[in-house]
Structure 1
Amino acid sequence: MSTARALRWLLVGLAMPGVVHAGRPLTTDDATILEPKACQLEAWVDRSRVATDFWAAPACNFGGNFEWQLGASRTHMDGQGALSQAYVQGKTVFVSVDDNPWGVGLTVGVQRFPLRETESGWNNLYAIVPVSFQLGAPDRLLHLNAGWFRNSAEKRDLTLWGIAFEAPLAGIPLTVVGEVFGENASRPFYRVGGKWTQIAKNLDVDLTYVARSGGTKSEKFVSVGLYYKLENASP
């Protein structure tokens, strides 16, 4: 692969927002975790006019008040595919919004960008504090994020933030979602769309549009995903 093509691949990979990882379809994190001995799978495709990103992110709570998640993406562009991002993170909640009018948690993880010529290893640390509020009903939610990300390639620290909402529509299994998220050194992304809940037992699907104001073609894309939960998955 030529240097110019490698750089193009890296820029496309970095354009896809992937530092904060929450429940589909939101990027902004929430103050909930899986119950003990439960697992889930989140998988989605981000399609822009330049590239297609395929993500898979399984997670499990093996017991107690802690959830582990592993995620990776493969980018396809110019007829070729390559692993472009990967992360491992752990998450806990001090107060869960599932059981209270508000909740707060902590997510800590590490990310890598394999397409970088340097600093391509597991050396991009991040930490997120998600705060969630019920807006008059347990399933109508507002999420706020504040966090930190260490960009190892640029040798600098970034401030992460996000604001998101979820609002189910009456009478149909559809939840409208929206968010704005980003970091202090660049313009934010926004997302709008919806998720169809309980398509089958413990299965949700979603469709959203993501863009950055004034962004490039690779920073405007459609995202299609699914969420599947497996209860009592671990011994």
Structure 2
Amino acid sequence: MPMSPNRSLRLGATLLLSFSSLPALAGRPLVTDDASVVAPGMCQVEMSAQRDPGQGWFIPACNVANDWEVGAGFGGVRHEGAWRRALAVHAKTLFRPLTEDGWGAGVTFAQQQLTGLNGAQEGLRDRSATLILSIPIASWAIVHANVGGIEHRAAGHGARTWATALETTHGHTGLSLETFGERGAYRTWQAGWRWSAVPDVLDLDAAWGVQHCDGVRANYAVLGLTWTFPR
């Protein structure tokens, strides 16, 4: 049975926003955002590749005015048997920076676009805003919580978004477990692993997740890296 236009838009938005993991907003492999930004005078590049569905991202970001992080990048998402170009931009600022012994809070604004969906010229364009809270619960563990909203411009409606995560660190290795989603659309569970190959310079990461959308369950796997360097 052919897919209805509304459902195609909804699934396309889900592909862009959930499987792309709101690219470059959180410290990889987290999808849940954290109350930190790239250090002053520094930039970073996040790259990732995902299977089921296939996609890849290249997202540079830099510190601006100490408490702001601004990033913009591009990628490709496989949808309906074809690769679609994808663009993403974001800006994040902190109300209170996260420290080892104190909570942190901030806000992120983002826009993502998937071009050429179903022959449309404008494709899918979604805008979102997210409030962030990060709370250390031990010297080796932090809890993150997000709440926000998203506007699906092509579909003409908005929705609430949410995410929670537990992030742990053991030497050069980090482990995470999180759940995130969009009210009335999808929910996802994801487990992640991170290894600092060169501390404060090069991190490698991997994640595996399970998403539920419109009664359909889908598994996915992601590999990525983060490179940090002086501006």
TM-score, normalised on structure 1? Answer: 0.82
Tell me the secondary structure at the aligned position of residue 188 of structure 1: strand
Aligned alpha-carbon RMSD (Å): 2.9
Q: Which residue of 2 aligns with 1:161?
A: 162
Identical amino acids, percent of aligned pairs: 24
CA distance in 1 between counterparts of 2:157 and 2:200 reads 44
What's the TM-score once normalised by structure 2's chain length? 0.83
Letter in 2 for 1:25: P
- Quote the residue 1:175 is aligned against: 174
Displacement of 1:178: 1.0
Deviation at 1:150? 0.4
Q: Distance in 2 between matches of 1:78 and 1:127?
A: 28
* Counterpart Cα distance in 1 of 2:50 and 2:9: 15
Gaps of at least 5 residues in structure 1 are none
- Contact 2:13–2:124 (8 Å) recurs in 1: no
2:30 aligned with 1:26:
yes
Report what 2:44 is aligned to.
Answer: 40
The secondary structure found in structure 2 opposite 1:32 is: coil
**1:186 equivalent in structure 2:** 185
Is the 2:30–2:192 contact (alpha carbons within 8 Å) kept by the matching residues of 1? no
Q: CA distance change for structure 1 residues 14 and 186 in 2, over 3 Å: closer, same or farther?
A: closer
**Counterpart in 2 of 1:143?**
144
**Distance between the aligned counterparts of 2:160 and 2:192, measured in 1?**
26
Separation of aligned partners in 2, 1:19 and 1:201: 22
What are the superposed Cα offsets for residues 147-199 of structure 1, whole Å, 9 maximum, x if unpaired?
11001122111101000111123xx5221111100011123111013111234
* 128-137 vs 71-80, which moves further: 71-80
1:73 CA drift (Å): 2.0
Contact 1:106 1:128 in 2 (8 A): yes
* CA distance 1:12–1:161, shift in 2 (3 Å): same
Query: 1: CA distance between counterparts of 2:63 and 2:125?
Result: 25
Shift of 1:99: 5.7
Contact 2:124 2:154 survives alignment (8 Å): no
Aligned-partner Cα distance in 2 for 1:151–1:22: 21
Q: Separation in 2 of the partners of 1:183 and 1:78?
A: 22
Tell whether the 8 Å contact from 2:84 to 2:114 is kept in structure 1 after alignment. no
* 1:77-88 equivalent positions in 2, closer than 5 A: 81-83=83-85, 85-88=86-89
Per the TM alignment, residue 62 of structure 1 is displaced from its structure 2 partner at its CA by 3.3
Matches within 5 A, 1:203-222: 203-213=202-212, 216=216, 219-222=218-221
Deviations 1:51-99 (A, max 9, x none): 310111110013332110113221247885331x322111100111136
Which has more strand, going by share of residues?
2
Closer/same/farther in 2, CA of residues 161 and 226 from structure 1, 3 Å limit = same
Match of 2:96 in 1: 95
Q: 1:154 to 1:92 in 2, by over 3 A?
A: same
1:124 aligns with 2:123: no
| Number of aligned residues | 222
Partners of 2:95 and 2:114 in 1: CA distance: 31
Instruction: State which drifts further: 104-113 or 9-18.
Output: 9-18
